[in-house]
Structure formats: structure tokens, C-alpha cells
Amino acid sequence: MSIGMVMIALGTYRFGMRNGSYQTFARTAAYRWSKVNRLGRAPALQYAGPDAQELMIEGVIYPHYKGGLRQVDLMRAQAGLGRPMMMVDGLGWVWKRWVITRVEERKSVFLPDGAPRKIEFSLSLQTYGSDGQPALLGGLL
């Protein structure tokens, strides 16, 4: 597959126009705040840092057009390895390491032999996080 045809590379799996292309890409960033109780006053909130970011990728595969019937199986195989994977988008942005937390598929428009002509999928991912020094400490430890 030409590098220009890749929407996102996640580990060894490539989402693109020739296979597993997605139509929706949703990103959630959350931030952790801890409640600190105080005597005689309302509790205060203390910033505890960013939470794991989440991605939801949803798409449609037409297996007889391009890519074949086993594309979602390949996504499950990547998730089953239990390893964080580097993610790079088609614009060259490096998204660091992510893990697949959920793979979902829906098949429809069946041929007489039971093969689906349409496979809808959704993939949930979370950031793996850095193994280095915490950013709040500036790497001074």
C-alpha cells in the first residue's frame, strides 16, 4: 500500500482507502481532579494530571470491493497481542503509543453463502502513557 493511501497506521495495521477506512474519528481528553476535604469550608479540588486519552474509530468495510473479509479479525489479532502500538497518521503526526480496548463489528447485506457485503466496525483505543519521568516533576527525579 502506498504511504499516501494510509489514513492511520496503528502498529502493523493500516487504515486506509484500500482496507478498513473509517468515517468517524472521535477523540476524548479527560483531566483528573482530586477532592481535598477542608475543615469548616467546602472541599477544594487539586489537579492530579491528565487522564488517558480515548479514541473511537468507526468505519464501514465492503469486503468484496477491497480488503477482504478478515479485516476486523486482523484488528482483533492486534488487540490480542496485549502490546501498546505506535500510531502515526497520514499527515505524519506521531501519536505515540496506544492500546486497543474494544473491537466491535456488525455484518449485514448477506450473499447467499452467508458472506457479508457490508461490515461496520468500531475500535476503542486508549493512550498507553509514558514510561519516562512524570512531566510534572520536570524529570528531576
Judge whether 20 lies within some domain.
yes
Identify the three-state secondary structure at position 129: coil
* 110: confidence class by pLDDT, cuts 50, 70, 90: very high
Judge whether 64 lies within some domain.
no
Judge whether 119 lies within some domain.
yes
Judge whether 103 lies within some domain.
yes
Judge whether 46 lies within some domain.
no
Nearest Cα neighbor of 94 from 127, 122, 139, 121 is 127
Note down the domain range covering 1: 1-30+70-131
Judge whether 5 lies within some domain.
yes
Nearest Cα neighbor of 44 from 56, 34, 36 is 36
How confident is the model over 56-99, as pLDDT tens digits? 999 999 888 777 888 899 999 999 999 999 999 999 999 999 99
How confident is the model over 13-65, as pLDDT tens digits? 888 877 778 999 999 999 999 999 999 999 999 999 999 999 999 999 988 87
Q: Supply the pTM of this predicted model.
A: 0.79
* 127: confidence class by pLDDT, cuts 50, 70, 90: very high
pLDDT at 141: 40
Judge whether 45 lies within some domain.
no
Judge whether 116 lies within some domain.
yes
Provide the grid cell at 58. 468507526
pLDDT at 38: 94
For residues 103 and 67, give the distance between their C-alpha atoms in angstroms, rounded to a whole number: 18
For residues 79 and 100, give the distance between their C-alpha atoms in angstroms, rounded to a whole number: 5
* Total tally of structural domains belonging to the chain: 1
Q: How many helices (H) and strands (E) does the chain have?
A: 1, 9
